[in-house]
Structures are given as C-alpha cells and as structure tokens.
C-alpha cells in the first residue's frame, strides 16, 4: 500500500519587507543578507493574522477536492501557538467546518514537529487505510529587532492531506532520528521572541544531520546516491546549501559542486523570498522544488532532513508520483507571491510592535489584506476568528493608518 501526500498547499501573508530596506536601516552590507545567509524578502504577518488564520488558509486549499468526512485526524504543528491549553487544530477544524467525529491535536518540538506529525499520520493511515489525516504546520518566526536573527524572520503555513491515495509523493516509513538536550534556540513562556545562540545552533544542526543520516543508513542501507534531490529544514536558504555540502563531504559523494547545487537549489527559492516559517519551512522547500523545476520529477527520490532546535532531527525519504503537477496550484502560488505588498520600514516596525492586549481586554484588530480567514479580535479572553468574503480586504491606506497609530 502506498501512503503519502495526497494534497499540499501553502499560505504566506500578503505583506513583507525587502531586505534591502532592512540592510539600509541596520547599516549592514546587503550582500551579507543576499549572499551570506541567502535571503531577499521576509513575510510579515499583519495584526489580524496568527498561526490559526495562516493554517486555516493553507488547509482550506489542501482540502479542496477532499471529502471532509474522510478526515478523522487534524494535527497542528507549531512553535508559535496561541494558547497553553487548547489546540490550534480545533479553531481550524471549526473554520473549515470539518465533521465532529475527528481528533484534533497540537504538537510541539520547535521546527520539526511537522515531520513527527507526518510520521504519526503515516502510521495512522497504515492502521486505518480509509482514514485521512490533515496536517497543518504554521509559524511566525520572530527574533529581536536589530538581532542577528532579524533578517531570517518570516511567517507562513503548509497544509497536507496524508492518505493511502497519495497524488504528490509516497513517503517511506523509515526514519533516522536523533535527540540531544541542548540550548541552541528556545522560547520561555514569557517571551515573544526566540532566544538563540546562532553560531552554536548551526553546529548543532550539522551534528544532528550527521547522526540522523547515520541512523537512517542503519535502518535502510540507503546511500547518498539513492537520492536525486534533497530538502533541508531552512532557517535561511544558505543553511540548505551548507547542510548539503556538509553531508556530501561526509559521504565522499564525488559529485561536482554544480551537480550538488542542482540537487538542493530548487528547494531554496521560496525560503529566499518568505523567510523562516519554522515547522512549515521544510515543506515550503518541497513545494519550491516541485513548483520551480523544468524537469519532470516523477519517480525521483527526495531526501528530507527535518531539524528542531533543542534538539531533535529526522531524516527520511519520499518518491514523487507521476502526474503530481496536475495537483499543485503552482501558478496561483506564483501569483500570490508576486502580488505581495512591500512594506516600508515604518510599516514593518508597526506590524512588528503590534500585539494583542496582554490583560485580556476586548479588542478589535484593524482589517488588512489577508486570505479567507482573519483574526477579528479578542473578547472575554477569547480569540475571535472570521471568514473574509471574497474581494474584501484592506487598502494600502489601512497599513499606513496602523503605522501612524501607537502599538497596543
């Protein structure tokens, strides 16, 4: 029985910042961002977006053409959850009017809980082949203003339906794992921004990659040359290149640097223009590879490395299915990414500094351009979500109005 990805879609906010503008304001050579870390543009969520609205927007697209009564499990993977108790999956379940006979949970392990969600989904479908699992990975990657991590910020969500009738990719059951208790990146409950030891986190990432690959080889006897392309967790796009060269060196791959680049480069494009989206980042890399490739990738084997600081890693493989292109909304995605609104530096600061009241006071969010769902505000300590009628949305004026208004 084949089990894998039946549908996959992504959502990124309508707004973003060109890193040329950030470089100018941080007095940094733009080449450091553009070449050194490989970033050009970062997605910035508007004040009426959070992980739930982004996740619901991605999931609505992933559910198109899927019978909702087949979905018995919704798993929401996130680092930037909105509640200590209630799963974000329940809000999405309601926004998408999914059937009540459904289990709905949230999972956490930094950026890699989405991959554990995927492997739990594969196991669920193997046990109950008629059931489908909706996975949502949604995150806002946020660092301190003027910190080294600032240019790697981003936001977005990926949703996938996992089933025994995959149309995009079959995923193998074997996984190479690695866990080690380290403090490379973490976020205490009282902090809105991650604490990170950046250089150390890169070392830990590479170490986890080596261990996961070794464990995967022990489980499967796979060789580096069994894979045609690779997708890595992308905190910034250059990390994917660094990781791939590291693994190739470690394996004495014997490929030219051009051949190695061709194995990884197509997966980096979306990250360069959206930034980090933690749990969603690896799967945006997969979409980038599938969307932006002149070659037909049917039957090609893809190696995946998922990394979550703290830390846990997973290496696994998948095989692209014939006809996958017909089930990707590649041109709609390209249009959405192209038509995003470029924020000024002042607008970026005002979006960054906006926060919901910390005391639970009632609050209405200003309306911005978003997808089909938005966060309308807070009432009696509860987040209120609403559907956005098609065509409704804010003009550039409301962005300016917010920029002029003091943060809450």
How many Å apart are CA 231 and CA 262, to the nearest integer?
12
- Please, what is the minimum distance in Å from the beta carbon of residue 26 to ligand CAA? 10
Q: Is 196 near ligand CAA (CB under 6 A)?
A: yes
Q: Given the complex with ligand CAA, which of 26 and 250 has the nearer CB atom?
A: 26
Q: Is 257 near ligand CAA (CB under 6 A)?
A: no
- Distances 172 to 60, 79, 257 between C-alpha atoms, Å: 26, 26, 28
Indicate which single residue of 230, 305, 307, 348 sits in contact with ligand CAA (rule: CB under 6 A): 307
Does residue 323 contact residue 290 with C-beta atoms inside 8 Å?
A: no
381 a catalytic residue: no
Q: How many CB atoms lie within 10 A of CB 339?
A: 9
Q: Is 156 near ligand CAA (CB under 6 A)?
A: no
The footprint of ligand CAA on this chain (CB under 6 A) covers a number of residues equal to 26
Q: Is 37 near ligand CAA (CB under 6 A)?
A: yes
Among the candidate windows 27-35, 245-253, 257-265, 320-328, which touches ligand CAA by CB under 6 A? 27-35
Query: What does the DSSP assignment read for 198-209?
Result: HHHHHHHHHHHH
Indicate which single residue of 81, 235, 269, 303 sits in contact with ligand CAA (rule: CB under 6 A): 235
Q: Given the complex with ligand CAA, which of 104 and 274 has the nearer CB atom?
A: 274
Q: How many CB atoms lie within 10 A of CB 340?
A: 18
Total length of the chain: 408
Q: Given the complex with ligand CAA, which of 205 and 373 has the nearer CB atom?
A: 205
Q: How many CB atoms lie within 10 A of CB 264?
A: 24
- Distances 270 to 101, 143, 152 between C-alpha atoms, Å: 36, 20, 13
Indicate which single residue of 80, 163, 201, 319 sits in contact with ligand CAA (rule: CB under 6 A): 201
Site string for ligand CAA, 86-105 (x = CB under 6 A): --------------------
- Per annotation, catalytic residue among 93, 215, 229, 233: 233
Indicate which single residue of 91, 177, 178, 205 sits in contact with ligand CAA (rule: CB under 6 A): 205
Does residue 362 contact residue 377 with C-beta atoms inside 8 Å?
A: yes
Indicate which single residue of 293, 309, 329, 370 sits in contact with ligand CAA (rule: CB under 6 A): 309
Give the containing element (helix H, strand E) for 158. strand 154-163
Indicate which single residue of 188, 190, 199, 256 sits in contact with ligand CAA (rule: CB under 6 A): 199
Indicate which single residue of 263, 276, 306, 350 sits in contact with ligand CAA (rule: CB under 6 A): 276
Indicate which single residue of 174, 198, 292, 327 sits in contact with ligand CAA (rule: CB under 6 A): 198
Q: In the complex, which residue's CB is closest to ligand CAA?
A: 36
Does residue 340 contact residue 348 with C-beta atoms inside 8 Å?
A: no
- Per annotation, catalytic residue among 49, 79, 150, 347: 79
Indicate which single residue of 24, 29, 346, 379 sits in contact with ligand CAA (rule: CB under 6 A): 29
Indicate which single residue of 64, 123, 126, 148 sits in contact with ligand CAA (rule: CB under 6 A): 148
332 a catalytic residue: no
25 a catalytic residue: no
Q: Given the complex with ligand CAA, which of 33 and 348 has the nearer CB atom?
A: 33
In degrees, rounded to 5, the angle at the alpha carbon of residue 303 between the alpha carbons of residues 196 and 41 is 45
Q: Given the complex with ligand CAA, which of 34 and 300 has the nearer CB atom?
A: 34
- Positive or negative CA dihedral for 344, 349, 354, 355? positive
Q: Given the complex with ligand CAA, which of 31 and 85 has the nearer CB atom?
A: 31
Query: What does the DSSP assignment read for 217-261?
Result: HHHH---GGG-SEEEE--SSHHHHHHHHHHHHHHTT----HHHHH
Q: Given the complex with ligand CAA, which of 18 and 184 has the nearer CB atom?
A: 184
Query: What does the DSSP assignment read for 4-66?
Result: EEEEEEEE--SEEEEHHHHHHHHT--HHIIIIII---EEE---TT--HHHHHHHHHHHHTTTS
Q: Is 245 near ligand CAA (CB under 6 A)?
A: no
Footprint on residues 280-299 left by ligand CAA (CB under 6 A): none
Does residue 150 contact residue 348 with C-beta atoms inside 8 Å?
A: no
What dihedral angle (degrees, nearest 10) is formed by the CA atoms of 44, 50, 52, 57?
A: -40
What residue ranges bind ligand CAA (CB under 6 A)? Answer: 29, 31-32, 35-37, 111, 148-149, 152, 184-185, 196, 198-199, 201-202, 205, 233, 235-236, 239, 276, 278, 307, 309
> Could you list the active site residues?
79, 111, 233
């Amino acid at each position: 029985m084949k089990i894998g990805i039946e549908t996959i879609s992504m959502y990124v906010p309508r707004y973003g910042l060109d890193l040329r503008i950030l470089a100018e304001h941080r007095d940094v050579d733009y080449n450091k961002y553009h070449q050194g870390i490989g970033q050009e543009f970062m997605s910035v969520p508007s004040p009426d977006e959070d992980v739930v609205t982004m996740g619901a927007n991605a999931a609505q697209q992933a559910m198109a053409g899927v019978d909702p009564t087949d979905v018995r499990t919704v798993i929401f993977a996130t680092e930037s959850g909105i509640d200590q108790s209630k799963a974000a999956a329940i809000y999405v379940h309601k926004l998408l009017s999914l059937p009540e006979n459904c289990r709905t949970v949230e999972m956490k392990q930094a950026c890699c809980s989405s991959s554990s969600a995927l492997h739990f989904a594969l196991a669920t479908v193997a046990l109950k082949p008629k059931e489908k699992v909706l996975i949502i990975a949604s995150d806002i990657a946020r660092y301190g203003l003027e910190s080294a991590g600032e240019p790697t910020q981003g936001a977005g969500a990926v949703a996938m339906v996992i089933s025994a009738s995959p149309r995009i990719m079959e995923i193998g059951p074997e996984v190479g794992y690695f866990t080690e208790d380290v403090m490379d990146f973490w976020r205490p409950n009282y902090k809105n921004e991650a604490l990170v030891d950046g250089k150390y986190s890169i070392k830990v990432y590479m170490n986890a990659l080596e261990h996961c690959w070794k464990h995967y080889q022990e489980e499967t006897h796979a060789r580096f040359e069994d894979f045609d392309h690779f997708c890595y967790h992308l905190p910034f796009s250059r990390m994917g290149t660094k990781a791939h060269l590291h693994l190739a060196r470690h394996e004495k791959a014997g490929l030219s640097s051009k051949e190695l680049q061709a194995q990884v480069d197509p997966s980096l494009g979306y990250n360069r223009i959206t930034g980090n989206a933690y749990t969603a980042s690896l799967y945006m890399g997969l979409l980038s590879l599938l969307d932006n490739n002149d070659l037909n990738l049917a039957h090609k084997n893809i190696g995946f490395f998922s990394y979550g600081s703290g830390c846990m890693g997973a290496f696994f493989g998948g095989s692209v299915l014939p006809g996958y292109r017909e089930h990707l909304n590649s041109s709609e995605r390209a249009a959405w990414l192209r038509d995003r609104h470029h924020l000024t530096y002042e607008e970026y600061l005002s979006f960054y500094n906006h926060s919901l009241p910390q005391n639970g006071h009632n609050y209405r969010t200003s309306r911005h351009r978003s997808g089909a769902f938005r966060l309308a505000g807070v009432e009696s300590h509860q987040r209120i979500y609403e559907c956005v009628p098609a065509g409704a949305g804010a003009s550039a004026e409301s962005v300016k109005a917010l920029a002029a208004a003091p943060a809450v």
